[in-house]
Amino acid sequence: MDRPNRPMYRGKRVPVRPPEPVAGQFQSRRTWVWWVFFMPGTVLTWIEYFFPSRGQVWASGRRYRNPIIQVGYTLALYAAIVFLIVLAIFGHHQGR
């Protein structure tokens, strides 16, 4: 007798289903836009928290998961990207 290859829980075969989304999670376009905007600051604070510089353990712990710091890091990162793009476009001007 062939049985489908399904996981077992307490000796009984259970159906395999994808996880259900949390109610309201990523349902609106506004949420997606905010998540994409917010992610660089979240990643930067995560890196800073898990790999702190010498003597910055407590400070990085206070900044981790702080939304104000994450938005600040995100804005600083986007400002640096815009600056580099402007510098690349207009930076090689020789004014003689």
Q: Tens digits of per-residue pLDDT, 19-73? A: 555 555 556 667 777 778 888 888 888 888 888 888 777 777 777 778 888 899 9
Q: What pTM, to 2 d.p., does this model score?
A: 0.59
Question: Could you write out the DSSP letters of every residue in 16-82?
Answer: --PPPPPTTTT-SHHHHHHHHHHHHHHHHHHHHHHSPPTT-HHHHHHHTT-HHHHHHHHHHHHHHHH
Question: What length is written for the chain?
Answer: 96
Strand partners, 13: 8
| 19: Cβ contacts below 8 Å, ≥ 6 apart | none
Residue 84 gets which letter from DSSP? H
Distance from C-alpha of 92 to C-alpha of 84, rounded to nearest angstrom: 12
pLDDT value for 56? 79
